[in-house]
Amino acid sequence: MSRIRTAVIGTGFMGRVHLEALRRVENVDVVEIAATSADKGRIAAEGFNVLNSTGDWQDVIRDPSIDAVHITTPNAEHFPMAKAAFEAGKHVLCEKPLAMGVAEAQELVALQAAKGLRGAVNHNLRYYPMVQQMRRMREAGDFGDILVVHGTYSQDWMLYETDWNWRVEPAIGGASRVMADIGSHFFDMAEHVTGLRVSEVCSDLAVFWPTRKQPKSGGESFSGKLGVAGEAVDTPIVTEDFGMTMFRMGKARGAMTASQVSAGRKNGLVLEIYGTKGGAAWRQETPEELWLGHRDSPNQVLMKDPSLLDAQARGFADFPGGHAEGYPDTHKQLFRRFYAAIADASLTPDYPQMADGLRQMRILEAELASAQSRSWVNVT
């Protein structure tokens, strides 16, 4: 298999997650890391044993020997970086949310198609083995026709007024915070597992802290929970701490909440689906278990074990039962499929694509419009 040369832009939380996962993909070499300064880039490159680094991401774009780029920077930079990479003939794997709005996402989808390149959006959470099992059981008809879909994505890392991150700043994170950041993961998973599409939404968004203490320095994702106090400025907040959305998926009905202020919930993503024959529930905080609900017999808990999984879900479980596969493995699974599709142009993509990122932007814009108008809004 020919080796693919890739570069990672950004060295924060996700930059490091991507760099680790990329080392577990068979046909790819990370040849450059781009950071916000030459020093940051050099330190990351030394740590991950990558030969080249830069403090200017455009160096990656200008290098014709680089085949693909991973974009792990804050949201506002996804569009200009992905656009430049596609224009330079590179495949793109971009973090979610894909862009700052529908118009930008549409442009990326069109550009990727025009250039004939591969493009992925990192909705990695689909690739927990037990989420794939739920998907395959639904496809096999085990739950019947889906009637009810609900759940939450709840975290606590922005609970205090002193908690701060670039995500609260609309110019960097976008007009929405929790719905864009984690609500998008819920909807990507709900649509992927059920095969249904969200057709209408009715949303309510809440800002519980009208001002937050913005530190004069620092602020990398989740670092606030380590309690390093410094000088701070009172800053007005307009992006939501919490959101809830009722939604329709054709005939099916659903409701979800997303929160960064729910004490004790770390990455409490929960998806429950109920159909005419049975139900299923999965929780990210106990990802190796899938609850199966029955009306006429005792409920079951299926523990991840490749030998017990549907044949197609089994491809997402690399370790024997009892050896937990978690968050880092979901990235490996997604990246592996992305690079397989680059290596073999005839493969049908089997990972979240640019169009899926656009889809999430459409749901998000409908949620924002609904919260604004206090009414149901169609997802076009």
Ligand X SMILES: NC(=O)c1ccc[n+]([C@@H]2O[C@H](COP(=O)([O-])OP(=O)(O)OC[C@H]3O[C@@H](n4cnc5c(N)ncnc54)[C@H](O)[C@@H]3O)[C@@H](O)[C@H]2O)c1
Binding site for ligand X (CB under 6 A): 9-15, 34-36, 57, 72-75, 77, 95-96, 122, 124, 166, 181, 220-221
Is the Cβ of residue 69 or residue 252 nearer to ligand X in the bound state? 69
| Number of residues that this document lists for the chain | 380
Residue nearest to ligand X (CB): 12
Backbone angles phi, psi at 72, to 5 degrees: -125, 25
Is the Cβ of residue 80 or residue 306 nearer to ligand X in the bound state? 80
Residue 242 host element (H or E): strand 242-249
Buried/exposed code over 80-108 (b: 16+ C-beta within 10 A; e: otherwise):
ebbbbbbebebbbbbbbbbbbbbebbbbb
Contact between 253 and 240 (Cβ < 8 Å): no
Is the Cβ of residue 34 or residue 252 nearer to ligand X in the bound state? 34
User: Which runs of E-coded beta strand occur in 72-168?
Assistant: 91-94, 119-121, 146-154
Least separation in angstroms between residue 362's CB and ligand X is: 17
Q: How many CB atoms lie within 10 A of CB 146?
A: 23
Least separation in angstroms between residue 140's CB and ligand X is: 28
Residue 173 host element (H or E): helix 170-173
Least separation in angstroms between residue 16's CB and ligand X is: 8
Is the Cβ of residue 26 or residue 220 nearer to ligand X in the bound state? 220
Residue 270 host element (H or E): strand 268-275
Least separation in angstroms between residue 378's CB and ligand X is: 26
Is the Cβ of residue 227 or residue 298 nearer to ligand X in the bound state? 227
Least separation in angstroms between residue 334's CB and ligand X is: 9
Contact between 31 and 47 (Cβ < 8 Å): no
Is the Cβ of residue 86 or residue 127 nearer to ligand X in the bound state? 127
Least separation in angstroms between residue 127's CB and ligand X is: 11
**Cα four-point dihedral sign 9, 69, 122, 302:** negative
Least separation in angstroms between residue 166's CB and ligand X is: 6
Among 263, 244, 268, 207, which residue's Cα sits nearest to residue 367? 244
Is the Cβ of residue 12 or residue 279 nearer to ligand X in the bound state? 12
Least separation in angstroms between residue 379's CB and ligand X is: 21
Is the Cβ of residue 36 or residue 106 nearer to ligand X in the bound state? 36
Instruction: Please provide the distance, in angstroms rounded to a whole number, between the alpha carbons at the two ends of the chain.
Output: 41
